[in-house]
Structure formats: structure tokens, C-alpha cells
Structure 1
Amino acid sequence: MTEILSDSEADGRLGAGWTRTGAVISREVELASFPQAIEVVNRVAELAETADHHPDIDIRWRTLTFRLSTHSAGGLTAKDFDLAAEIDAVLAAL
């Protein structure tokens, strides 16, 4: 099983734009258009499938909210922060 990170470990791994509320990290971004937002969702979906770790994604027109937590472990793990970094890379490539 994947090891749950302590609060201080989780806080130390938060990337720019990410916030932590308990056992969930989240990031909200606004894209230039609805099609661009869907393009980002599709790219993240491919990464999530490869990692077998799936974020909650809320789509509100051009605004996307990503939420990550390792539900099977009952908290935040390295898997959450690894996928968050991959999401950041997708956004940076726009």
C-alpha cells in the first residue's frame, strides 16, 4: 500500500497554485476558451490512466478545478503530488 504523507510532508510538496485542505490538494485554473479547457482535461485523463490515479475534475466553462487524494490509502500520498506535477506540466505547455 502507498504510504500516507504527514501534514508537514504534504505542505512541503505543494506546488505553486495548489492548496491543501485536509487530505485533498486542489488547483483551479482558468483557460482561454472552453475547447482549450477540454483539451487540458483530455491530456490529464491520459496521464491519469497511465498512472492509474484519477483526479476529480470540475469543469465550469473555461475554469477547471483539479482535486487529488489517494482515497484507497485514506490520505495524501506521493501519487497525488506526482500527478499534480504532471498537471502543472500540461498547463505550462499551453
Structure 2
Amino acid sequence: MAKLSDADVQSALEGLLEWELEKGRILKRDFKFDDYLVGVDFVRQVANQAESKDHHPYIVIDYKTVTVKWTSWDEGGLTEKDTTLAKYCDELYDVK
């Protein structure tokens, strides 16, 4: 999958309101949960989706905060896979 242009990244960020662009090539967001195990379940669901797409994020669980980062290392930046999976995280989080 091809790396997104800078314009495409900026356009994608408009639809990913709480995501930050880190180092110009990584999408990052912190998700806050009221309960530790709810955050762990969120991670499990993201991991299952990532595995099904063969595209894996960097995830940190810090008690009730889960940090998710998406990038396509092999492409040297963001691809449509990253933005699609970031949207999946948002949708999953909104359901919680």
C-alpha cells in the first residue's frame, strides 16, 4: 500500500479529531477508560482487528489509559491502512 501524501495525511487528520501526528509519520491517540479491564478488552479487540489486517500498532496500557500508534514502517509513513485502523479504534471506543 502506498504512502499517503502530506495533503492526504492532513485530510485524514480532519476526520480523526483526537489523533495527533507524531514525527510526521505516526498517528497517535490516548484512550481513557473508567476501568482497567475495559481498556484491556479494547486492546484485545484492536489486536484482533490488526491481526486480521496483518497490520500491527504500537500499544501501551498505562492503567486506565491506552495509547495506540499507527504507522507503516515498510512505507516510511502513513498509509490508508493506518487511517482505516485509526477510524476502527475511534468507532470501537465510541461504543464503550
Q: Provide the TM-score with structure 2 as the length reference.
A: 0.93
For this pair of structures, how many residues does the alignment match? 93
Give the root-mean-square deviation of aligned CA atoms: 0.8
Alignment partner for residue 45 of structure 2, among 43, 46, 56?
Answer: 43
Q: CA deviation at 1:74?
A: 1.1
Structure richer in helix, relative to its length: 2
| Equivalent AA in structure 1 for residue 75 of structure 2 | A
1:22-70 deviation per Cα after TM superposition (whole angstroms, max 9, x unaligned) = 1101001110110011010001011001111111001100001100000
Match of 1:60 in 2: 62
| Equivalent AA in structure 1 for residue 9 of structure 2 | A
Match of 1:16 in 2: 17
What is the distance in 2 between the residues matched to 1:8 and 1:31?
32
What is the distance in 1 between the residues matched to 2:72 and 2:59?
14
Q: CA deviation at 1:7?
A: 1.4
Aligned identity (percent) is 31
Unaligned runs of 5+ in 2: none
Unaligned runs of 5+ in 1: none
- Residue 17 of structure 1 aligns to a residue in which SS? coil
Alignment partner for residue 29 of structure 1, among 28, 31, 40?
Answer: 31
Match of 2:6 in 1: 7
Q: Provide the TM-score with structure 1 as the length reference.
A: 0.95
- Residue 4 of structure 2 aligns to a residue in which SS? coil
Match of 2:74 in 1: 72
